[in-house]
């Protein structure tokens, strides 16, 4: 299959492995932002192919993982109401809040439904005018355009019973926060290809210049990731720092202008709390005032709900790349996919889940 098989070619992967080894003369720490890349690295054994001088650090690019506990508690509170149909992507149903998760609400009689698109939730609202229908809008820039479209579609249809619980986050402010953190040692980034498909990579150029770090937009197949590492190491060894686009078959510098215009129409930037990382300035999206009737936090008055991460879970240190999942005392003990303590063990993009399923000691 074009654009898949050639990026899984073992010969190409072996050649890149050799080139990286020949190039590398120093210790380098490189963070892959996206949790999809983390799973690909562990699943395909890429971490075992690289020379010991290269330390791959797993970043906060898992949208489920960075959704704060208090946002889960808000979802649980709303979903438990008799007049509500609460809709969400599947992974979010099992993410623990401070007391329970959304599946527990469903087991207790709440009308909680898994959907594959926010537009599915709009259809449910149209078919159930006697109910208030809420969609849990989480994710990075990749999912935000569809959520914006759902709001506009609900407005077009005059649906007064539809709203979104919005926890949309942005990658560039997270990179800035990581680079300004004293306990993080990152010398280069593999940027998330899917995010850049929507946003392009023009936002990364000033970050590379400000922090003097190479940033390589990278895909998700084994050859993608190895080539991304090679390009990043090449810049590090040469002492250069700029943005490169390894994922050029999908990503352009400008990105999807129509999707970006949609985001600007519906959302505004806001300070956002990330699970385990605290509040990052201008790192989230909220609905603009003219769309406040579709804001579930305002519709259901949930501003007084606050919660903290359980002390035993070190997801904040994992998301920042300070520690790896195997360094967590609860990993594979108190915390498993069947009984997760944190979101990173639940999500299909979570680092803890990747280590649980693929890591070999």
Distances (CA, A) of 22 to 26, 53, 75, 247: 11, 12, 51, 23
Has residue 145 been placed in a domain?
Answer: yes
Has residue 146 been placed in a domain?
Answer: yes
**Residue 182 confidence class, pLDDT cut points 50, 70, 90:** confident
- The CATH number that applies at residue 152 is 3.40.50.11740
What pLDDT score does 361 carry? 64
What pLDDT score does 312 carry? 81
Question: Is there a contact between 262 and 241 (Cβ–Cβ < 8 Å)?
Answer: no
- Can you give the length of the chain in residues? 361
Per-residue pLDDT, averaged over 299-305, amounts to 88
Question: Is there a contact between 33 and 59 (Cβ–Cβ < 8 Å)?
Answer: yes
Other residues' Cβ atoms within 10 Å of the Cβ of residue 14: 12
Q: How far, in Å, CA of 332 to CA of 69, rounded?
A: 21
Has residue 14 been placed in a domain?
Answer: no
Give the domain range for residue 268: 65-170+258-299
Tell me 116's DSSP state: S
What pLDDT score does 360 carry? 76
Among the listed ranges 38-47, 115-124, 297-306, which one has the minimum average pLDDT value?
297-306
E strands of 128-252, at which residues? 132-139, 162-169, 188-192, 215-218, 243-245
Share of the chain above pLDDT 70, in %: 99
Q: How far, in Å, CA of 37 to CA of 217, rounded?
A: 11
Has residue 341 been placed in a domain?
Answer: no
- Host H or E run for residue 353: helix 351-358
Per-residue pLDDT, averaged over 190-209, amounts to 97
**Can you state the percent helix, strand and coil of the chain, rounding each to 5?**
45, 20, 35
What pLDDT score does 180 carry? 95
pLDDT digits (tens, 9 = 90+) for 56-79: 999 999 989 999 999 999 999 999
What pLDDT score does 183 carry? 86
Has residue 82 been placed in a domain?
Answer: yes
**Residue 16 confidence class, pLDDT cut points 50, 70, 90:** very high
Other residues' Cβ atoms within 10 Å of the Cβ of residue 100: 15
What pLDDT score does 304 carry? 81
Per-residue pLDDT, averaged over 242-251, amounts to 97
Per-residue pLDDT, averaged over 228-248, amounts to 98
Question: Is there a contact between 217 and 191 (Cβ–Cβ < 8 Å)?
Answer: yes
Has residue 77 been placed in a domain?
Answer: yes
CA-nearest of 139, 133, 140, 135 to 118 is 135
Q: How far, in Å, CA of 89 to CA of 348, rounded?
A: 12
- The number of domains in the chain is 1
Does the structure show a pLDDT above 60 at 111? yes
- Host H or E run for residue 87: strand 84-88
Per-residue pLDDT, averaged over 143-165, amounts to 98
Does the structure show a pLDDT above 90 at 2? no
Q: How far, in Å, CA of 140 to CA of 222, rounded?
A: 23
What pLDDT score does 1 carry? 57
Q: Is 327 helix (H, G, I), strand (E, B) or coil?
A: helix
């Amino acid at each position: 299959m074009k654009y898949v098989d050639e990026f899984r070619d073992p010969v190409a992967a072996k050649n890149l492995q050799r080139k990286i080894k020949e190039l590398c003369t120093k210790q380098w720490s490189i963070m892959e932002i996206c949790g999809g890349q983390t799973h690909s690295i562990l699943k395909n054994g890429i971490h075992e192919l690289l020379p010991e001088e290269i330390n791959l650090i797993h970043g906060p690019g898992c949208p489920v993982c960075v959704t704060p506990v208090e946002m889960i508690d808000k979802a649980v509170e709303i979903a438990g109401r008799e007049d509500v149909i609460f809709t969400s992507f599947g992974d979010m149903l099992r993410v623990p809040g401070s007391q329970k998760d959304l599946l527990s609400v469903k087991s207790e009689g709440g009308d909680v439904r898994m959907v594959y698109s926010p537009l599915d939730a709009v259809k449910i609202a149209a078919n159930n005018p006697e109910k208030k229908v809420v969609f849990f809008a989480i994710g990075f820039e990749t999912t935000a355009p569809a959520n914006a479209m759902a709001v506009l579609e609900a407005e077009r249809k005059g649906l007064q019973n539809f709203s979104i619980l919005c926890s949309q986050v942005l990658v560039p402010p997270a990179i800035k926060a990581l680079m300004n953190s004293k306990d993080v040692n990152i010398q280069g980034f593999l940027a998330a290809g899917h995010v850049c498909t929507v946003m392009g990579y023009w936002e990364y150029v000033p970050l590379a210049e400000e922090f003097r770090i190479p940033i390589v937009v990278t895909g998700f197949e084994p050859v993608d990731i190895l080539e991304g590492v090679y390009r990043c190491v090449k810049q590090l060894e040469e002492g250069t720092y700029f943005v490169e686009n390894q994922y050029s078959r999908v990503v352009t510098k400008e990105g999807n202008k129509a999707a970006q215009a949609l985001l600007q129409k519906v959302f505004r930037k806001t300070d956002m709390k990330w699970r385990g990382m605290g509040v990052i300035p201008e790192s989230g999206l909220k609905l603009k005032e003219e769309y406040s009737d579709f804001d579930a936090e305002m519709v259901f008055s949930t501003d007084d709900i606050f919660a903290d991460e359980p002390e035993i879970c070190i997801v904040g240190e994992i998301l920042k790349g300070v520690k790896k999942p195997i360094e967590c005392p609860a990993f594979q003990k108190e915390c498993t996919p069947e009984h997760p303590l944190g979101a990173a063990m639940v999500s299909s993009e979570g680092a803890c889940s990747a280590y649980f399923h693929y890591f070999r000691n």
